[in-house]
Amino acid sequence: MSQFDDLVQKIRGCTLCSLSEKRTNAVPGEGARDADIMFIGEGPGFYEDRDGRPFVGPAGQFLNELLLSIGLSREDVYITNMLKCRPPNNRDPLPGEIDACRPYLDAQMEMISPKVVVTLGRFSFGKFFPGESIGKARGKPRPWKNLTIFPMYHPAAALHNPRLRDVILADFAKLPALADDVIGAPEEAQEAKAEQLSMF
């Protein structure tokens, strides 16, 4: 079994905090295991707990739309959460739950080794920049260790406040240029560049 599969299995069977007692399914995450872009949300909700997959409810529908708006699909990126088990009634994660779950997210980040991490909402932003306001930070890429963090509002915010929909879409629209910058242009563009250079 690969190291990654081993981690997924550990998450699915985790009993490190009391959220494990009420869950239907733990939600490790999904997507490309070598993704350059990783999305980190807050924690599973009703639908995610039911299906064992991240962002499959209404917030997930909007995330799918956002990805599509920049020509990406869920398979191109990795999507996970701060918490791998659903808090009761979707309440905010507790500090002890975040602490208990931290080694899983850290191991995922280590194994996937993304170049850009998009934080969705204040809890995942707080992992990297504790105590700062997401309202001020959103939409502006920031260096953190050897990564670029791109803070965004949580997609669910647009479901509660439809005016945030355009804000989130506009922030998302900055992601392709950021990714090109950090990750490099897509392979075809690099080849075309190399071809041009070879003509001289």
User: What residue ranges bind ligand URA (CB under 6 A)?
Assistant: 41-45, 48, 54-55, 57, 59-60, 81, 156
Q: Least CB distance from residue 90 to ligand URA, whole Å?
A: 8
| Residue whose Cβ sits closest to ligand URA | 41
Q: Least CB distance from residue 161 to ligand URA, whole Å?
A: 16
Give the whole-angstrom CA distance, residue 2 versus residue 136.
40
Residue closer to ligand URA (CB basis): 116 or 156:
156
Q: Least CB distance from residue 29 to ligand URA, whole Å?
A: 9
Residue closer to ligand URA (CB basis): 81 or 108:
81
Backbone angles phi, psi at 118, to 5 degrees: -95, 115
Q: Least CB distance from residue 169 to ligand URA, whole Å?
A: 18
Residue closer to ligand URA (CB basis): 43 or 141:
43
Residue closer to ligand URA (CB basis): 65 or 183:
65
CA torsion 43→123→151→54, rounded to 10°? 0
Residue closer to ligand URA (CB basis): 26 or 179:
26
User: Measuring CA to CA, how many Å separate 25 from each of 85, 87, 112, 181?
Assistant: 7, 12, 22, 37
The answer to whether the CB of 159 falls within 8 A of the CB of 91 is no
Q: Least CB distance from residue 42 to ligand URA, whole Å?
A: 3
